[in-house]
Amino acid sequence: MTDDASLARRALPLLDLTDLGESCSEAAIDTLCRDARASAVAAVCVWPHYVGRAARLLAGSPVRVATVINFPAGGDDIERAVEDTTEALADGAHEIDLVLPYRSVLAGETGTARAMLAAIRDVCDGGRLLKVILETGVLATPDAITAASRLAIEARADFLKTSTGKSAISATPEAAEAMLCAIRDHAAGHPVGLKVSGGLKTVADAGTYLALADRIMGPTWVGPRTFRLGASSLRTALVAALGEAGR
């Protein structure tokens, strides 16, 4: 098997297959869920109003349904975030990707972020995962990314996630490294994973982040419970690499 095929085989079960485009439709969700089933990815990530449809289409499969809250702006409205989360969970979401109020955190005002994280953590129970989007392209510096990572870890986030994919700078290896180091150094007693999201398109992109996780966390750490790749088009490249290997 070629190196690309080996990477693709490893990466595909870690994929959060995503459609958060402005033109998303019911037909697009149907296709997304069909592809997710076919490739046995970890999850689909969809707008909240499509959670119910995705949950019905994926019923009986191991593919989980994720949705986004406080997205993409990362505002300070805790009550709205709790209401949206509660509705999404009732509709069948298994995972909540919550945007941290990152502008407040950057301004040194962490109280709102802590309160929002605590409130959403309270309603994400029974095996439902809380993934906290840091928006690392805006946080920008390793120190700011590390501080935001620690804040989310202290709130018992299940995953740290790099980006919304809606800012000028999405995931970078430098940001992922800072987050992985924070997980390694500060997540004692509570398993915390990493979701890399925003701008991933090629098998090489997946390989970069897998190698980073292996180096920092060890070669046995990566799995769907600890590491995700959030992308809309990456599946196409991964499936193509596997197809090429079979020729």
Tens digit of each residue's pLDDT (9 = 90 or more) over 26-41: 999 999 999 999 999 9
Identify whether the C-beta of residue 41 lies closer than 8 Å to the C-beta of residue 19: no
Distance, in Å, from the CA atom of 140 to the CA atom of 211, rounded to the nearest integer, reads: 22
User: Is 170 a residue whose pLDDT tops 70?
Assistant: yes
What percent of the chain shows pLDDT beyond 70?
Answer: 98
**pLDDT single digits (tens) 193-243:** 999 999 999 999 999 999 999 999 999 999 999 999 999 999 999 999 999
Residue 233: which residues within 8 A CB-CB, separation 6 or more?
201
At 2, the pLDDT band (50, 70, 90 cuts) reads low
Q: What is the mean pLDDT of the chain?
A: 96
Confidence (pLDDT) at 189: 80
Confidence (pLDDT) at 247: 41
User: Is 72 a residue whose pLDDT tops 50?
Assistant: yes
User: Is 120 a residue whose pLDDT tops 50?
Assistant: yes
Q: Which residues of 173-184 are buried (b: 16+ CB within 10 A; e: fewer)?
A: eebbbbbbbbbe
User: Is 188 a residue whose pLDDT tops 90?
Assistant: no
Task: Select which of 19, 131, 158, 161 is catalytic.
Answer: 161
Q: Which two tokens stand for residue 240?
A: 């193509």
Give the three-class secondary structure for 200.
coil
Pick from 134, 137, 164, 135: which is nearest to 149 by CA?
134
Note if 161 is an active site residue.
yes
Identify whether the C-beta of residue 98 lies closer than 8 Å to the C-beta of residue 122: no
Bridge-based pairing state of the strands 64-69 and 95-99: parallel
pTM of the model: 0.96
Distance, in Å, from the CA atom of 235 to the CA atom of 141, rounded to the nearest integer, reads: 30
What percent of the chain shows pLDDT beyond 90?
Answer: 94
Q: CATH number, domain at 130?
A: 3.20.20.70
Note if 131 is an active site residue.
no
Confidence (pLDDT) at 187: 79
Give the helix, strand, coil percentages of the chain, each rounded to 5.
50, 15, 35
User: Is 162 a residue whose pLDDT tops 50?
Assistant: yes
User: Is 68 a residue whose pLDDT tops 60?
Assistant: yes
Give the three-class secondary structure for 131.
strand
Residue 87: which residues within 8 A CB-CB, separation 6 or more?
48
User: Is 245 a residue whose pLDDT tops 70?
Assistant: no
Distance, in Å, from the CA atom of 59 to the CA atom of 243, rounded to the nearest integer, reads: 27
Please name the residue ranges forming H helices in the chain: 3-11, 26-39, 51-57, 78-91, 102-106, 111-123, 136-139, 142-154, 173-186, 203-217, 234-245
Q: Which structural domain range is residue 211 located in? A: 3-245
* The total number of structural domains that make up the chain: 1
Confidence (pLDDT) at 1: 47
Distance, in Å, from the CA atom of 151 to the CA atom of 167, rounded to the nearest integer, reads: 21
Tokens 């209401």 found at: 83
Note if 195 is an active site residue.
yes
Residue 14: which residues within 8 A CB-CB, separation 6 or more?
41, 42, 222, 223, 224, 227, 228, 229
Task: Select which of 97, 131, 158, 205 is catalytic.
Answer: 97
**pLDDT single digits (tens) 83-112:** 999 999 999 999 999 999 999 999 999 999
Task: Select which of 4, 19, 131, 195 is catalytic.
Answer: 195
